[in-house]
């Protein structure tokens, strides 16, 4: 999908390059595509169908990574499979643990690009924050990921691979519905998931498959900065909970902090939310709102937010995110009292507006802090981009 011009200082995402190992990685392929891959290697159709079913179960239910361990497949065939295919995982470069129990992994693709994944444990659940791209083309001004130069879409295998790696780390194989630490998934890591629609959809389908990773779509949330043309498809073809990074209620402010707003404005975005398939009072749309001091945090802003939610009759809840700082950031977080007041105004209007507790700040794992060190921009480049944006605004 083309990414809009001026607001887009980095090129469109690159395609994944082939890794050194020519064997096909089966992770990320649907059952049908595994069957096709087996057919292409010369298996009989009936055999291919049966084996695809077994391999699928082994990969996604048992968590097997070696064909050798797939005991329901005849031994000679296991060796045959191992010559042609692999069951991969993203490579772990570094794993860190926060004092609050949050864990962050720096991961590497087969072609050498780094990206991050975060696990946030809570008393009653555990949430995995999954990346959809290496970097992000959108450059929201308060977001660290948006300052990364290199952007490539993650493949479906690399996306579902994050969930599988987390299951490995938590010792949660085989897949079982009850008592899992990894109970929820949020597509809120690096990248804009709706700019990598097909791969995100294919990955989440595997995650949601009852015979695959078996997570209910009600426990999965996709966060978008507002890629309006893709929102209806997201509802229809993926059907997970929707979170929208609203962050501002006036055109001037949203244009500045979420530059995609110049392409798809607030009204258009809220109309798309109102039309989002499956949203209702039991499954509300979450509006994410980062609290930036003197930028978007006034009483008037809070009242305008309430007015907009009412105007479009949105089944909504608001998630207030204290701004998480990062080196070189241009903003400050609103004071605690301001955040509380903002939250109260929305609550008083009958709309839930909790303040998200920052997690994993000490290891730069909190919202908007993700960025792989290898792919940093210099301060001079950041200034140049900021100037370009000002020029675009003028
Ligand atoms: N690209 C998607 C999902 C990833 S970001 C999106 O923008 O929605 C997940 C959330 O963290 C978004 O709401 C994002 O706006 C927010 N965020 C980004 N940088 C932040 C920061 N420095 N502090 C707090 N929240 C931030
Ligand atoms: Fe990209 Fe989301 Fe960060 Fe904006 S907030 S730059 S869309 S990752």
In the chain, % of residues over pLDDT 90: 76
In the chain, % of residues over pLDDT 70: 89
- Ligand 1 mutation target, pool 115, 185, 188, 193, most atoms within 8 A of CB: 188
The residue ranking higher by pLDDT, 302 or 357, is 302
* Digit-coded pLDDT (tens) for 128-153: 999 999 999 998 999 998 888 778 99
Q: How far is CA 87 from CA 18, 25, 161, 252, 282, in A?
A: 15, 6, 10, 48, 38
Ligand 2 centroid distance, CA of 64 (Å): 34
pLDDT range class, residue 248, cuts 50, 70, 90 = very high
pLDDT of residue 362: 87
pLDDT of residue 3: 40
Ligand 2 centroid distance, CA of 53 (Å): 37
Residues flanking ligand 2, CB < 6 Å: 136, 138-140, 143, 145-146, 191-192, 225, 245
Ligand 1 atom 24, closest CA: 323
Asked if residues 13 and 195 have their Cβ atoms less than 8 Å apart, the reply is yes
pLDDT of residue 2: 38
* Digit-coded pLDDT (tens) for 163-217: 999 999 999 998 876 788 999 999 999 999 999 999 999 999 999 999 889 999 9
What does the pLDDT average to over 247-273?
97
Measure the N-to-C terminal CA separation of the chain; round to a whole number of Å: 27
> How many CB atoms lie under 10 A from the CB of residue 281?
7
Segment among 96-105, 139-148, 316-325 with least mean pLDDT = 139-148
* Digit-coded pLDDT (tens) for 337-366: 999 999 999 999 999 999 998 888 888 888
pLDDT of residue 197: 97
What does the pLDDT average to over 104-122?
94
- 65 SS3 class: coil
- 198 CB contacts (<8 Å, ≥6 apart)? 156
Pairing state between β 184-187 and 126-129: parallel
pLDDT range class, residue 371, cuts 50, 70, 90 = confident
pLDDT of residue 358: 85
DSSP string, 326-378: -TT-S--BPPHHHHHHHHHHHHHTT---PBPPP-SGGGT-STT----GGGPPP
Query: Is pLDDT at 336 greater than 60 in this prediction?
Result: yes
Ligand 1 contact, 292 CB (< 6 A) = no
Ligand 1 centroid distance, CA of 41 (Å): 43
For the entire predicted model, the pTM comes to 0.90
**Domains, the chain, ranges and CATH?**
24-86 (1.10.150.530), 91-393 (3.20.20.70)
pLDDT of residue 32: 94
The residue ranking higher by pLDDT, 90 or 387, is 90
- Ligand 2 mutation target, pool 3, 134, 136, most atoms within 8 A of CB: 136
- 298 SS3 class: coil
Ligand 2 centroid distance, CA of 168 (Å): 28
Query: Is pLDDT at 383 greater than 60 in this prediction?
Result: no
Structure tokens at 159: 């996306």
pLDDT range class, residue 373, cuts 50, 70, 90 = low
């Amino acid at each position: 999908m083309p990414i809009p011009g001026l607001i887009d200082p980095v090129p469109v995402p690159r395609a994944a390059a082939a890794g050194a190992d020519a064997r096909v990685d089966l992770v990320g392929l649907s059952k049908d595509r595994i069957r096709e891959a087996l057919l292409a290697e010369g298996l009989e159709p009936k055999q291919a169908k049966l084996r695809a079913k077994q391999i699928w179960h082994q990969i996604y239910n048992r968590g097997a990574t070696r064909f050798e361990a797939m005991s329901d497949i005849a031994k000679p065939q296991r060796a045959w499979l191992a010559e042609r295919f692999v069951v991969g995982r993203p490579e772990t470069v570094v794993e860190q643990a926060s004092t609050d129990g949050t864990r962050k992994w720096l991961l590497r693709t087969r072609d050498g690009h780094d990206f991050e994944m975060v696990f946030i444990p809570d008393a009653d659940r555990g949430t995995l924050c999954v990346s959809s791209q290496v970097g992000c083309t959108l450059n929201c001004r308060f977001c660290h990921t948006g300052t990364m130069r290199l952007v490539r879409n993650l493949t479906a295998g690399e996306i579902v691979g994050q969930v599988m790696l987390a299951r490995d780390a938590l010792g949660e194989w085989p897949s079982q519905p009850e008592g899992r630490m990894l109970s929820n998934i949020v597509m809120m890591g690096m990248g804009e998931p709706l700019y990598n629609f097909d791969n995100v959809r294919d990955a989440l389908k595997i995650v949601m498959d009852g015979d695959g990773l078996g997570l209910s779509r009600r426990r999965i949330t996709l966060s978008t900065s507002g890629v309006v043309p893709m929102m209806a498809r997201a509802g229809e073809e993926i059907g997970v909970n929707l979170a929208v990074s609203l962050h501002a209620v006036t055109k001037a402010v949203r244009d500045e902090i979420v530059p995609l707003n110049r392409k798809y404005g607030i009204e258009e975005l809220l109309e798309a939310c109102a039309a989002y398939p499956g949203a209702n009072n039991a499954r509300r749309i979450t509006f994410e709102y980062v609290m930036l001091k003197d930028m978007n945090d006034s009483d008037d802003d809070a009242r305008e937010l309430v007015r907009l939610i009412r105007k479009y009759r949105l089944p909504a809840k608001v998630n207030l995110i204290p701004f998480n700082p990062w080196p070189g950031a241009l903003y400050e977080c609103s004071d605690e009292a301001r955040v509380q007041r903002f939250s109260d105004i929305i609550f008083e209007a009958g709309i839930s507006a909790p303040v998200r507790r920052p997690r994993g700040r000490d290891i730069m794992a909190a919202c908007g802090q993700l960025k792989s060190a290898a792919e940093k921009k210099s301060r001079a480049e950041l200034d140049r981009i900021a100037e370009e944006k000002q020029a675009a605004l003028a």
